[in-house]
């Protein structure tokens, strides 16, 4: 695999790792890109593709890497067309269908970012100064946009079978069973979904986090792909995060961006609320939390703030 691709994927990989294991810190990552990628990168994502398709997928991943370095939601709009072009290439081969499932569950991030790009006024140009990025939408604007986006969406394939089975697992762990819909946002309820950097299953666990919550991740038996064990681990993780932050929005932000990232922003901005740090979170996290919130509202008819607190 080319070094250029390894460098391009590094920040994507680092983001996915730190989202579940710590704070997001890009400084110095490129200095160790080749060594890290040789040890960790899942090479099957491109190796299974024909050469002509591989070039297009590689270009998309490079663009993906560039945009992930930005905290600005509107920047994700630049990926909209490329993501839709890459999806059928991944869907066309049995080996890469798990990656297609991962990408499909994220297409509407790019679409919502495009809607914001069209409606939000561009910053005024000041002579002699570099153009400023379009500011991030407010948390309320995000929530409203996602509620509209999902207002007519049907249940994803597989949800009708899995939801009744998995809700009791969440309830047994004393986590609101409505939060089972995190799986729709993470994987579209496809247990086979896999990201190019190795997050896997309904709840997109990285190996270290999966093992932290008791899941086996060996090639002989990877429990991240098993709905019931992965649901139990996800419930335990969400329960821990809610205990730490005392709020489901913050817990979800930490699930996506990492506990360290969320805590540092809370300290820096002297707040204890999600809305107080929302526009400073990584762009994906700014989308993830209100999308989960809108999904729970659509599927269960209940607001995230109204979910019953965990009882010990």
Q: How many CA atoms lie within 13 A of 137 on its CB side?
A: 27
Domain boundaries, the chain: 1-120+134-312
CB 73 within 8 A of CB 283: yes
Buried b (16+ CB within 10 A) or exposed e, 6-36: bbbbbbbbbbbbbbbeeebeeeeeeeebeeb
The tens digit of pLDDT for each residue in 30-64 reads: 444 444 444 444 666 667 677 668 778 877 866 76
Fold of the 1-120+134-312 domain: Lysozyme (1.10.530)
Give pLDDT tens digits for 63-117.
765 665 568 999 899 889 889 989 998 898 888 899 899 999 999 999 999 999 9
Task: Evaluate if residue 1 carries a pLDDT over 50.
Answer: no
Compute the Cα dihedral for 275, 277, 280, 281 and give only its sign.
negative
Ramachandran angles phi, psi of 200, nearest 5°: -145, 155
Q: What is the pLDDT of residue 32?
A: 42
Residue 125 pLDDT:
74
Tell me which residues are annotated as active site: 186
């Amino acid at each position: 695999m080319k070094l250029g691709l390894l460098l391009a994927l590094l920040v994507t990989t680092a983001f996915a790792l730190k989202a579940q294991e710590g704070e997001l810190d890009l400084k110095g990552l490129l200095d160790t890109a080749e060594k890290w990628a040789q040890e960790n990168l899942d090479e099957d994502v491109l190796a299974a593709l024909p050469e002509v398709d591989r070039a297009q997928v590689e270009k998309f991943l490079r663009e993906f890497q560039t945009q992930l370095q930005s905290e600005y939601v509107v920047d994700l709009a630049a990926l909209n067309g490329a993501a839709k072009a890459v999806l059928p290439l991944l869907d066309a081969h049995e080996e890469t269908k798990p990656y297609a499932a991962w990408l499909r569950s994220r297409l509407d991030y790019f679409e919502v970012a495009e809607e914001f790009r069209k409606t939000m006024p561009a910053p005024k140009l000041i002579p002699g100064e570099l153009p400023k990025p379009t500011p991030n939408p407010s948390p309320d604007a995000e929530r409203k946009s996602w509620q509209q986006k999902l207002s007519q969406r049907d249940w994803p394939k597989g949800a009708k079978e899995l939801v009744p089975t998995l809700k009791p697992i969440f309830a047994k762990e004393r986590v609101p069973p409505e939060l089972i819909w995190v799986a729709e946002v993470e994987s579209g309820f496809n247990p086979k979904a896999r990201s190019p950097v190795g997050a896997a299953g309904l709840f997109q666990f990285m190996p270290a986090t999966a093992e932290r919550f008791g899941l086996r991740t060996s090639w002989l038996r990877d429990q991240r792909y098993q709905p019931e064990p992965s649901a139990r681990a996800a419930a335990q993780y969400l329960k821990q995060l809610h205990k730490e932050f005392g709020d489901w929005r913050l817990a979800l932000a930490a699930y996506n961006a990492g506990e360290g990232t969320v805590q540092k922003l809370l300290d820096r901005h002297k707040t204890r609320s999600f809305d107080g740090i929302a526009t400073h979170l990584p762009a994906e996290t700014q989308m993830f939390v209100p999308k989960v919130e809108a999904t729970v509202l659509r599927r269960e008819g209940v607001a995230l703030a109204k979910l019953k607190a965990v009882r010990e």
